[in-house]
Amino acid sequence: MSKDAMKDSVLAHLKYALGKDAAHATVYDWRIALSLAVRDRIVDPWFNATRTVYRADAKRVYYLSMEFLIGRLLEDALVNSGAHDEARAAFDALGLPFEDVLYDEPDPALGNGGLGRLAACFLESLSTLGIPAMGYGIRYEHGLFRQRFENGWQVEEPETWLTQDHVWEFERPEAAFEIGFGGHVHGGEDRAVWRPAEAVIAQAFDTPVIGWQGRWANTLRLWGALPKQVLDLGRFNRGDFSGAAEPEALARTISRVLYPDDTTEGGKALRLKQEYFFTSASLRDLLRRFEGDHDDWRDLPKKVAIQLNDTHPGIAGPELVRLLVDERGMAFEDAVEVARGCLNYTNHTLLPEALERWNEGLLGYLLPRHMQLIERIDELHARENPKRKVSIREHGEVKMGDLSFIMASKVNGVSALHTELMKETVFRDLHKLHPERIINQTNGVTPRRWLRTCNPALAGLITDTIGDGWIADAEELERLEPHLDDAAFLERFADAKRANKARLADWIGKTQGVQLDPSAMFDVQIKRIHEYKRQHLNILETIALWQEMRDHPDGDWQPRVKIFGGKAAPGYHFAKEIIHLINSVARVANADPVTAKWLKVVFPPNYNVTLAERLIPAADLSEQISTAGMEASGTGNMKFALNGAVTLGTLDGANVEIRDRVGAENFFLFGMTAEEVMARREVEGHAAAAIAADPRLARALDALRNGTFADGDHDRFRGIADNIAGPDWFLVASDFADYWRAGRAAEAAFRDGAGWNRQAALNTARAGWFSSDRTIRGYARDIWRADPPDSFRTVAAE
Ligand code: NBG
């Protein structure tokens, strides 16, 4: 499409879809008009893909996830459909600010963190690779809360992305299922009849997900909850107006809000309802699709691969068995075999508080038939494995991890270390019974969004240097290596980083009112706020650094900017205190005339995909400092490396593999290993000993207790100080000294401009393996046994 055709299309949509005249159009109007123009270009490849899959009767992958953190869609669609340059040119010709239009789009926060963003990267890679797939999830009316700071404290506000037109989705009133809850089960063991006490309608909303170069598009199908009956007319006529609207309100709560917590289980009935709601709708949808062309249910695993993204859709096992037995007349044991042939499960955390368990009373009340089937599945597994020590049910609870494991063909971890720890810890007994079942698939990120789109300066340099093949095959980035001995290339690499930092400094100046020196070292930690991720270790080191600078105001300090971003779960008090501490240190340190030229602390609020896209390209140092053994993988760590930031990190999650690939000399390692962590926790008084041995740490902790950052209030940060001095489960004290050492080593390396630059460029050159295309190929090969249809290439040419 030419620039003029794009311009005409945008103007036509502005006029006929929005009813606006160019002279009176707002940024919002232009954004919607442009989105519609780009959407037009996606619909054909999307239809073609669907037709091709039907024609080839190809196996489909179904990715079930409570969260899809898709980020803004317009720029992604522009870049992947190849319309970006024409669109920019068209907007230039119209005299309109293209960037403002792109940033006008709200970021749909339909996820908490890594798990949801991974699902979004996977969808994009599935489309890029032409693998027939569908993402299934919930269309939350309110995504993750919007974060604001008030006197440094986190304040949560509802996210309202749907108050604007959301033109990327197509409503599908015809794709709807009735989802029941509660009630009673009648009849025998097989072919029981479940009569639910209440029901809601799950209705589909489809969003096309376009792959690189617009060759293929899969669908993200999100379910919205609607009432069976909009209005209780009887109550309305009796004058009970608010009561009359009750059925609607009740039903809609199911897809109203995303649970704002990615590590602890709310244990709420509503959450269980949400999980069953979208899992059941998705399974019934895919069975209906299969039913259209096939008549033997035993063939289901040949056509259907289902991936359970963590245990949130773990009820899929019993639900699929129920649909096959009660609604299609299959024998129980056959149904279990068919279900297991289709289902696979990804584990994303070892934190015990995050492993879902449902009270049997609650499960039996909301899903009585499923509770019966879970008992039978458990008995069958016991019969098949007479030596087993475990049971799905324990202390009156159903362990969703064990249920998902037992009902899956393959169970995977998300980094090499995490997978090994899974075998030794949570699934130790099940792994002994089924040693083939657990495999590893190290996470990845899409290089389209996380390099090509978010970092045009670096992407342009790479393409000038090695061509654009890296966008489809990120491992081609290795071809940069020979250029790392070319001073001119390294200078251009440094220029790109400098430009990104200047841009970020400008934005921070405007939005946060803090002036940053773009030549300082930009040191970034962005992720959910959690004790295991140890933002408090980072801020403690910041305090110690600030104190030393004050002691030696004539010192030759390396200027450093500490940038934080992340939300705390609303009920996680300690995490909120950490946020308050960071903001309090920022307030004091940024205003200190002695240190302000060397040290700045900034914490832009409401961290989300869009903010990550701003921050990552401008980072020099990537903080990946979790307690070893606790971060399953991490994916931010990969995005930083890809964008030429050097990691300061522990041997945790995928950091281990990043270090292996970029080389130990290009990675600042510190801290205990996972094994050492486990051993140290057994040592009584480990924190006190670490503090006694390190005056610097003792003094930083004192500053928390003497009111330095709390206008003299000695108690404000006592909780954090006491925790680090006391139980210190996350070993902040024990890792502090080594973290301090590594931080100084990173600063020294940064001072040596050329050497640092080379390290940074090496990170980019060697991080291509962390593309989600590589991850998806692994899943397709080892788990799903699904391929792109033979005609994928011909379709692209059509
Ligand atoms: C998160 C882990 C991360 C990992 C992502 C994606 C959950 C439950 N787990 O380390 O904490 O990168 O999953 O696999 O959100």
DSSP string for residues in 266-300: ---HHHHHHHHHHHHHHHHHHHHHHHHH---GGGH
Nearest ligand 1 atom, CA 418: 10
Name the one residue in this structure whose structure tokens are 């108050």.
163
Is the CB of residue 633 below 6 angstroms from any atom belonging to ligand 1? yes
Nearest ligand 1 atom, CA 263: 8
**How is residue 786 written in tokens?**
């699904």
Is the CB of residue 443 below 6 angstroms from any atom belonging to ligand 1? yes
Select which of 128, 279, 346, 635 is catalytic. 635
Cα(558)–Cα(751) distance, integer angstroms: 7
138 C-alpha to ligand 1 centroid (Å): 19
204 C-alpha to ligand 1 centroid (Å): 27
User: 63, 67, 110, 115: which to mutate for ligand 1, most atoms within 8 A of CB?
Assistant: 115
Give the single-character DSSP code of 452: I
Please answer whether residues 121 and 635 qualify as being in contact, where contact means their C-beta atoms are separated by less than 8 angstroms. yes
Is the CB of residue 119 below 6 angstroms from any atom belonging to ligand 1? no
Is the CB of residue 412 below 6 angstroms from any atom belonging to ligand 1? no
51 C-alpha to ligand 1 centroid (Å): 35
- Contacts of residues 32-37 at CB distance under 8 Å and 24 or more positions apart, as own/partner, are 32/165, 32/167, 34/10, 34/74, 34/87, 34/91, 34/101, 35/73, 35/74, 35/77, 35/105, 35/167, 35/168, 36/167, 37/6, 37/9, 37/10, 37/13, 37/87
Burial string for 233-269 (b: 16+ CB within 10 Å, else e) reads eebeeeeeeeebbebbeebeebbbbbbbbbbebeeee
Cα(609)–Cα(72) distance, integer angstroms: 8
113 C-alpha to ligand 1 centroid (Å): 7
Decide if 635 is catalytic: yes
Give average pLDDT by consecutive 10-residue segment, the chain, 798 residues.
Answer: 92 98 97 98 96 95 98 97 96 96 96 97 98 98 96 95 93 97 89 95 98 97 91 79 78 89 74 97 98 95 98 98 97 98 97 89 97 98 94 96 98 98 97 98 98 98 98 98 96 98 98 97 98 98 98 96 97 97 98 97 98 98 98 98 98 98 97 98 97 98 97 96 96 98 98 93 98 98 93 57
Give the single-character DSSP code of 771: B
**Rg, the chain, Cα only:** 27
Where do the DSSP E strands lie in 432-559?
438-440, 521-526
3-state secondary structure of 648: strand
Cα(281)–Cα(255) distance, integer angstroms: 13
Amino acid type, 436? E
379 C-beta neighbours (distance < 10 Å), count:
12
Is the CB of residue 114 below 6 angstroms from any atom belonging to ligand 1? yes
User: 349, 532, 533, 657: which to mutate for ligand 1, most atoms within 8 A of CB?
Assistant: 349
Ligand 1 atom 12: residue of nearest CA: 634
348 C-alpha to ligand 1 centroid (Å): 5
Is the CB of residue 653 below 6 angstroms from any atom belonging to ligand 1? yes
686 C-alpha to ligand 1 centroid (Å): 28
Residue 339: the pLDDT is: 98
Nearest ligand 1 atom, CA 117: 6
3-state secondary structure of 134: strand
For 765, residues 6+ apart whose C-beta sits below 8 A from its C-beta are 477, 478, 479, 480, 481, 484
Query: Among residues 79, 73, 49, 797, which one has the least CA distance to residue 447?
Result: 79
Cα(788)–Cα(215) distance, integer angstroms: 12
529 C-alpha to ligand 1 centroid (Å): 13
Is the CB of residue 631 below 6 angstroms from any atom belonging to ligand 1? yes
633 C-alpha to ligand 1 centroid (Å): 6
Please answer whether residues 304 and 286 qualify as being in contact, where contact means their C-beta atoms are separated by less than 8 angstroms. yes
Is the CB of residue 115 below 6 angstroms from any atom belonging to ligand 1? yes
Please answer whether residues 71 and 613 qualify as being in contact, where contact means their C-beta atoms are separated by less than 8 angstroms. yes
Cα(363)–Cα(368) distance, integer angstroms: 7
Look at phi and psi of residue 259 and say left if phi exceeds 0, alpha if psi is from -120 to 50, else beta: beta
Query: Among residues 79, 77, 74, which one has the least CA distance to residue 108?
Result: 74
Do the bridges between strand 397-399 and strand 357-359 make them parallel or antiparallel, or are there none, so unpaired? antiparallel
Cα(673)–Cα(738) distance, integer angstroms: 12
Is the CB of residue 414 below 6 angstroms from any atom belonging to ligand 1? yes
Please answer whether residues 730 and 531 qualify as being in contact, where contact means their C-beta atoms are separated by less than 8 angstroms. yes
Residue 405: the pLDDT is: 98
- Assign 3-class secondary structure to 28-95: HHHHHHHHHHHHHHHHHHHHHHHHHHHHHCCCEEEEECCCCCCCCCHHHHHHHHCCHHHHHHHHHHHC
For 93, residues 6+ apart whose C-beta sits below 8 A from its C-beta are 3, 7
Helices (H), 387-455: 400-406, 416-424, 428-433, 447
Decide if 681 is catalytic: no
Cα(20)–Cα(11) distance, integer angstroms: 9
Select which of 39, 273, 303, 527 is catalytic. 527
Residue 269: the pLDDT is: 87
Nearest ligand 1 atom, CA 346: 14
Is the CB of residue 627 below 6 angstroms from any atom belonging to ligand 1? no
Residue 796: the pLDDT is: 47
Is the CB of residue 634 below 6 angstroms from any atom belonging to ligand 1? yes
Select which of 41, 60, 348, 452 is catalytic. 348
217 C-alpha to ligand 1 centroid (Å): 26
635 C-alpha to ligand 1 centroid (Å): 8
Cα(253)–Cα(225) distance, integer angstroms: 8
Decide if 639 is catalytic: yes
Is the CB of residue 445 below 6 angstroms from any atom belonging to ligand 1? no
Nearest ligand 1 atom, CA 310: 8
3-state secondary structure of 620: coil
Select which of 533, 567, 580, 758 is catalytic. 533
Ligand 1 atom 15: residue of nearest CA: 115
Amino acid type, 625? I
Q: Is the dihedral of CA 579, 581, 584, 585 positive or negative?
A: negative
115 C-alpha to ligand 1 centroid (Å): 5
Is the CB of residue 632 below 6 angstroms from any atom belonging to ligand 1? yes
User: 265, 414, 446, 572: which to mutate for ligand 1, most atoms within 8 A of CB?
Assistant: 414
What burial class does residue 352 get, using C-beta atoms within 10 Å of its C-beta: 0-12 exposed, 13-18 middle, 19+ buried? exposed
User: 633, 652, 656: which to mutate for ligand 1, most atoms within 8 A of CB?
Assistant: 633
Instruction: Go through the chain and tell me how many residues it has.
Output: 798
Please answer whether residues 181 and 206 qualify as being in contact, where contact means their C-beta atoms are separated by less than 8 angstroms. no
Decide if 348 is catalytic: yes
For 175, residues 6+ apart whose C-beta sits below 8 A from its C-beta are 203, 204, 221, 285
What does residue 745 show for φ and ψ, rounded to 5 degrees? -65, -40
Provide the β-strand partners of residue 563. 524, 602
Give the single-character DSSP code of 569: -
Name the one residue in this structure whose structure tokens are 């608010």.
242
418 C-alpha to ligand 1 centroid (Å): 10
pTM exceeds cut of 0.75: yes
Name the one residue in this structure whose structure tokens are 């706020």.
529
Residue 797: the pLDDT is: 47
Residue 190: the pLDDT is: 81
Q: What share of the chain is helix, strand, coil (3-state, %, to 5)?
A: 55, 15, 30
Is the CB of residue 698 below 6 angstroms from any atom belonging to ligand 1? no
